[in-house]
Amino acid sequence: MAKRALVTGITGQDGSYLAGFLLGKGYEVHGLIRKASTFNTYRIEHLFADPHEPGARMFLHYGDLSDGSQLSHLLYEVEPDEVYHLGAQSHVRVSFDMPEYTADVTGLGTARILEAIRRSGIKAKFYQAASSEMFGNTPPPQNEDSPFRPRSPYAAAKVYAYWMTSNYREAYDLFACNGILFNHESPRRGETFVTRKVTRAIAHIIAGNQRLLFLGNLEAKRDWGFAPEYVEAMWLMLQQDEPRDYVIGTGECHSVREFVEEAFNYVGLDWDQYLRTDPRYFRPTEVDLLVADATRARRELGWDPRVTFKQLVRIMVDADMEALGLTPVGEGKAILRKNGLDDPFQLSIALEPLRGEP
């Protein structure tokens, strides 16, 4: 019997890679999607097969993390072996504008799913998409024992969700893991996160559609990895004998400025001519420095990232150039092939929406 997974946030960056990864492993994949007035499924278009066709293994269900009764109903209907809870209002800057909504969806959303699992009595393993943002201004390197000092409504909501996950593990013997993932990026990264904003702007500048790039704080440092490698870590956590929490990251960190320099240099443009700062993109409180100590994941999961910072930049710039019909510089695809990451993860962004109802 194929294992059955339920993925919240399946239309997001990580959800789309995870769905592809699980289908590749023979799983039946069920995803929670939001009703929107436009198609929001472009990242999973290439995975979709009409559910009426024999052999279809991906099924989409309407719902929302603010709707507990529907989540509960979904649990009974799908009876998953594994639940990957990735859905969230995931933008840190936006969480300052929408603190209550972020608490509801990103924080309480986790409690709703945990409670739905508990009440259903279904023996599903649970993955919580926790975040390095929870460490806030705790000095690096950060590992599973580092204290949380959240610096945004988003981080505070994730800390609540983290402790709820731990509590359900202890109180109800649920196989539940917090994956404390550091920033991970890809050509499918949301367009308003800083890396994608930069690589997309470069493509638009070259295409003649954009003159300047406006950013906020250039001095913040992040531990940036490649998203497809991170979804494998999520799966590995749920395959262990005992549930534990794991930090996932590269251990290398770079500033936003360094990312900008690397990306513009790659295409031979002088970044100084195009970059401007705009106070709108600064945050009321900032997280200055995140660097992962992923020793536990290396030792217990055998997880080790391969794609380096420079390679990540090249993959993303090339993909954004290709998406606009420009000729990419050309190293991105070669890097993916060399790391065996090109095929199963299907990196190109499908632009056609899903046809018909899910």
What amino acid positions are annotated as catalytic residues? 131, 133, 154
Subset of residues 290 to 319 that bind ligand GDD, contact rule: CB under 6 A: 290
Where does the chain show beta strands of DSSP type E?
4-8, 28-33, 58-62, 82-85, 125-131, 176-181, 184-185, 213-215, 221-222, 225-226, 246-248, 254-255, 275-277
Q: Closest Cα to residue 41, out of 351, 356, 348, 354? A: 354
Q: Which is nearer to ligand GDD, 73 or 197 (CB)?
A: 197
x-marked contacts with ligand GDD along 137-176 as a string, rule CB under 6 A: ----------------------------------------
State the residue number with the nearest CB to ligand NAP: 12
Q: Closest Cα to residue 167, out of 115, 121, 101, 125? A: 115
Beta bridge partners of 260: none
- Provide the CB-side half-sphere exposure for 233 (13 A, CA): 35
Q: Which is nearer to ligand GDD, 220 or 315 (CB)?
A: 220
At residue 275, φ and ψ (nearest 5 deg) are -90, 135
Given 86, 174, 194, 205, the residue binding ligand GDD (CB under 6 A): 194
* Single-letter residue type at 335: I
Token pair for residue 80? 């998953």
- Cβ burial of 37 (10 Å; 0-12, 13-18, 19+) is exposed
Least Å distance between CB 305 and ligand GDD? 15
* Partner that binds at residue 14, options ligand GDD, ligand NAP, none, CB closer than 5 to 8 Å by kind: ligand NAP
* Site for ligand GDD contains 131 (CB under 6 A): yes
* Partner that binds at residue 9, options ligand NAP, ligand GDD, none, CB closer than 5 to 8 Å by kind: ligand NAP
* Site for ligand GDD contains 227 (CB under 6 A): no
* Site for ligand NAP contains 131 (CB under 6 A): yes
Stretch that binds ligand NAP, among 4-12, 110-118, 135-143, 333-341 (CB under 6 A): 4-12
* Partner that binds at residue 199, options ligand GDD, ligand NAP, none, CB closer than 5 to 8 Å by kind: none
For 122: left if phi > 0, alpha if psi spans -120 to 50, otherwise beta; the answer is beta
Subset of residues 235 to 264 that bind ligand NAP, contact rule: CB under 6 A: none
Distance CA 244, CA 238 (A): 9
Given 19, 27, 29, 90, the residue binding ligand NAP (CB under 6 A): 90
Distance CA 177, CA 243 (A): 6
Subset of residues 93 to 122 that bind ligand GDD, contact rule: CB under 6 A: 93
Distances (CA, A) of 358 to 1, 34, 353: 24, 11, 11
Convert 169-206 into a string of H (helix), E (strand) and C (coil). Answer: HHHHCCCEEEEEECCEECCCCCCCCHHHHHHHHHHHHH
* Site for ligand NAP contains 164 (CB under 6 A): no
Q: Which is nearer to ligand GDD, 144 or 342 (CB)?
A: 144
The single residue listed with the structure tokens 């709707």 is: 67
Least Å distance between CB 351 and ligand NAP? 15
Given 8, 11, 128, 132, the residue binding ligand GDD (CB under 6 A): 132
Distances (CA, A) of 131 to 25, 134, 184, 222: 26, 6, 11, 12
Token pair for residue 301? 């999961």
* Partner that binds at residue 222, options ligand GDD, ligand NAP, none, CB closer than 5 to 8 Å by kind: ligand GDD
Least Å distance between CB 36 and ligand GDD? 20
Report the interface residues with ligand GDD, using CB under 6 A: 90, 92-93, 131-133, 182-183, 192-194, 197, 215-217, 220, 222, 256, 281, 283, 286, 290
Q: Which residues bind ligand NAP (CB under 6 A)?
A: 8-9, 11-15, 32, 34, 36, 40, 64-66, 86-90, 105, 129, 131, 181, 183-184, 190
